[in-house]
Chain A
Amino acid sequence: MGKPFTSRRGLLKGSAAAGVALAAPTIFTRRASAADFTNEPTGSTVTFGFNVPQSGVYADEGADQLRAYELAVEHLNGTGADNGMLETFSSKALTSQGVLGKKVEFVTGDTQTKSDAARASARSMIEKDGALMITGGSSSGVAVAVQALCQEAGVVFMAGLTHANDTTGKDRRRNGFRHFFNSYMSGAALAPVLANAYGNDRRAYYLTADYNWGYTTEQAISEATEGVGWETVNKVLTPLGAGDFSSYIAPVLQSGADTLVLVHYGGDMVNSLTNAVQFGLRDAQVDGRDFQIVVPLYSRLMARGAGENVKGIFGSTNWHWSLTDEGSQAFSRSFGTKYGFPPSQAAHTAYCQTILYADAVERAGTFNPCGVVEALEDFEFDGLGNGRTLYRGDDHQCFKDVLVVRGKENPDSEFDLLEIVEVTPVDQVTYPHDHPQFAGGDLGACNPGS
């Protein structure tokens, strides 16, 4: 064994190792500091962490979320061309002078739509950049993983695009909140519309993405449609990012099913829907009835990818730019003026989460996560689209109207791909917090960190 630091190289190595060890603060060393909570801001600025997929299959959704986050920060700091939905938001606590007098800054991370990468980037933003709040994610697997991390670290997590029941069901956490709707709500909104359009005696075949979101959405849609009389013929899991789904599509007609439910999202939905149309399912007839395809979770970005194939196909969505309420219009105008195209539902929920967090801080009068959590629980608001909304304290899920949409037959432009068929009232999609699809979770106690 050589003596330490007896050579120039050894000394350099030793110095570098010591430097890295000293320069990398951790949550655990922060706990030893005098701060009351993790990343308590002491200067004139406060840092938000925007953790979105900047690569991988959901990267376009992530890019739109980032645009919305930047817009929200401009509106919070009063540096934008207008104040967007701050003007229509029912709470008037925000002043466009930052949050609690501190200018909002932000850092970004790339989740890569992978739970481990998302946790690593969130951890880095909390430990190295001092992020006080984390928001984002375009996958339920990512949201659940990052929510758990934020609970451990003692920061608030404002979930982005996550639709699985588990996020506010079995994996719910006191420090985590979700503005986006969920699988149960999609089922509750879609089933009556589907029964009305296609009848009460359909035989449905499910192709389901093989991960957390796929399972809960499949369960929610099948239970809701079985509730209106439909029969579930088969449920087949498909790998995430399969590319070509033809081998899964081809057996559908042989199964005797007359409806195909594609529980896919992003690029997978584009490919599976394209394959289904290529295999003639839209033109097929079973027992004298037209075959139908249903896409439980729609987004405009996906609809653009699928092109003509979305025409006439039903699905649900959290929000759409064509809503005519003042808040939605203000947001579409603000976003459209800055970027030249309308915002997606991913952008809308990202913007809302940021505004809702900042507003809760103002109302609580503190950045302490436990104060913010208290201010958000059972908070009722309006003016952010989707009508009157409740952030339910029991599970931290937002309850608001849900949209049922259909692929437009004659779109005016590449943005005009979906038409709103029905705005399902919030009462129709509300459920008890211990509903079997959401059971088993425990919010636990708020964690303020160090």
Chain B
Amino acid sequence: MDAIILQVLNGLDKGSAYTLIALGLTLIFGTLGVVNFAHGALFMLGAFCAVTLNRLLTLSMEVVDETRTDFLGNPLVVNVPYVEEWFGTQFGGAIIDWSVPLALLLAIPVMALVGLAMERGLIKHFYKRPHAEQILVTFGLAIVLQQIVKYFYGANPIATPAPDAFQGSFDFGVLIGFEPFTIIYPYWRLVYFCFAAVVITGVFAFLRYTTFGMVVRAGMVDRETVGLLGINIGRRFTFMFALAAIVAGVAGVMYTPIVAPNYNMGMNFLVLSFVVVVVGGMGSLPGAVAAGFLLGILESFASMSAVIDLIPGINQVIIYLVAIIVLLVRPRGLLGKKGVMED
């Protein structure tokens, strides 16, 4: 029982990441009709905002320690971060310690700018082109963004830890009365799940309860009619692209303590997130959320050794199997609109 609860938690956590990326993909497809294969790269860029801030905050002055030597036998150069020098070890150290959450403040404007630049500079030229061309050009863009990041940061993963307060794990089993069973779960993964819940709720509330959101939803249903009312729907859709980029970016920032960022991390998530979008239903936001969590949990269960022993390799194909079954039975996806992907 405890193993099942643990994998449900794991699935919710994986599902959070899938959903946050799929949400952005769905927003872009639902508003602009663009299949954005560069969306995983936006997630990766968000993660590297956290890496960058961490590096900026740990920029150091070099102090020579004559008592020790480096690998060449020269006196050892010890690095003391400027932040600690300026604000004291305690406060300066705390700023460095909280660099991942602080990176949200950097990532939001950066991702908004990247999103706007992408949409205005490239994507808008492909609105009326076939999906195949959109996929090609956005996939190419993703590779360019990856190579830029690789050039500056290298290919190895870069450890970016969570604040000390959220390091380690706690016994979830004791909390829900499962003593003496052990259900150990990392603090930061719970933070990530809560963060995802807040972001998803925020996006839904924005679309549901604001006038801006109402116009966007109307535009998703009938762009021309909304345009005829004198509303510049194109500008609003551009804003939605930037919003999708921000959602992917902040998802990437908060993910850095879970898996050390590397330039290729977006690709792993992109493919899975596309499956999530297709299973949920192209253009359906509730579908993306439902499918994200469903597939996350299924993947976690399929990775249990008892399941793998029973059906070897199931962990690597489960998501695609589910996608095939859903598309065979219901081509529009779980909560997709009638007509989408059915012609």
Contacts and interface: CB of A to CB of B under 8 A. Distances in A.
A9 to B, nearest CB: 25
Interface stretch (A188-196, A329-337, A352-360): A329-337
Nearest to A235: B305
B71 A279 contact: no
B156 A270 contact: yes
> From DSSP, what is the main secondary structure of chain A's interface residues?
helix
Contact of A243 (B6, B154, B265): B265
A70 interface: no
Chain A interface residue number, banded: 35 or more
A270 B261 CA distance: 10
By CB atoms of chain B within 10 A, which of A239, A244, A336 has the most? A244
Nearest to A321: B71
A234 interface: yes
A279 B189 CA distance: 10
By CB atoms of chain B within 10 A, which of A241, A243, A255, A416 has the most? A243
Contacts, number: 143
B188 interface: yes
B316 A239 contact: yes
Contacts of A302: 156
B159 A415 contact: no
Interface in B31-86: 68, 70-72, 76-78
> From DSSP, what is the main secondary structure of chain B's interface residues?
mixed
B19 interface: no
B3 A251 contact: yes
B221 interface: no
Interface residues of B, number: 51
Given A56-B155, A306-B159, A412 B265 contact: no
Contacts of B101: none
B238 interface: no
A412 B68 contact: yes
A308 interface: yes
Interface string B7-38: 10011011001000000000000000000000
B14 A244 contact: yes
A59 B303 contact: no
A247 B72 contact: no
B305 A278 contact: no
B72 A332 contact: yes
Contact of B13 (A243, A246, A271, A413): A246
B303 A278 contact: no
Contact of A251 (B6, B159, B264): B6
Given A236-B308, A279-B185, A247 B159 contact: no
B268 A243 contact: yes
B157 A305 contact: yes
B72 A270 contact: no
A185 interface: no
A322 B71 CA distance: 7
B307 to A, nearest CB: 10
Interface string A293-311: 0000000011011111100
A59 B155 contact: yes
A278 B169 contact: yes
Contacts of B105: none
A279 B303 CA distance: 16
B184 A280 contact: yes
Nearest to A283: B168
B74 to A, nearest CB: 10
A332 B71 contact: yes
Contacts of A413: 70, 76-77
A342 B71 CA distance: 7
Nearest to B69: A412
Contacts of A216: none
A247 B300 contact: yes
A276 to B, nearest CB: 11
Given A236-B305, A246-B189, A333-B72, A305 B169 contact: no
A252 B300 CA distance: 14
B71 A254 contact: no
Nearest to B160: A307
A267 interface: yes
Contacts of A63: 154-155
A57 B264 contact: yes
A307 B54 CA distance: 14
B182 interface: yes
A234 B305 contact: yes
A253 B6 CA distance: 11
Interface string B180-218: 001011101100000000000000000000000000000
A284 interface: yes
Contact of A412 (B76, B155, B159, B302): B76
A55 B156 contact: no
B155 A57 contact: yes
Nearest to A272: B259
B158 A305 contact: yes
Nearest to A234: B305
Interface in B148-192: 150, 154-159, 161, 168-169, 182, 184-186, 188-189
B71 A415 contact: yes
Interface string A132-166: 00000000000000000000000000000000000
Interface in A55-103: 55-60, 63
A189 to B, nearest CB: 23
Given A284-B184, A301-B156, A244 B259 contact: yes
A236 to B, nearest CB: 5
A275 B303 CA distance: 15
A274 interface: yes
B262 A278 contact: no
Contacts of B14: 244, 246-247
A332 B260 CA distance: 28
Contacts of A283: 168-169
Contacts of A275: 258-259
Contacts of B308: 236-237
A279 B305 contact: no
Given A244-B259, A251-B304, A413-B76, A305 B71 contact: no
A49 B97 CA distance: 45
Interface in B266-321: 268-269, 299-300, 302-306, 308, 315-316
Given A254-B3, A415-B71, A267 B184 contact: no
Nearest to B146: A55
B169 A279 contact: yes
Contact of B155 (A55, A255, A304, A336): A55
Interface string A218-250: 000000000000000010110101011011101
Contacts of A336: 71-72
12 contacts: A210-B316, A239-B316, A250-B7, A254-B3, A266-B156, A267-B156, A278-B188, A279-B184, A305-B156, A305-B157, A309-B159, A332-B72
Ranked nearest first, the 8 interchain pairs of A and B with the lowest CB-CB distance are: A307-B159, A59-B155, A247-B303, A280-B169, A278-B186, A60-B156, A305-B157, A247-B300
Given A246-B10, A332-B71, 15 more contacts: A58-B155, A63-B155, A241-B264, A246-B300, A247-B10, A251-B6, A266-B156, A267-B262, A278-B188, A279-B185, A304-B159, A307-B159, A336-B72, A342-B71, A412-B76
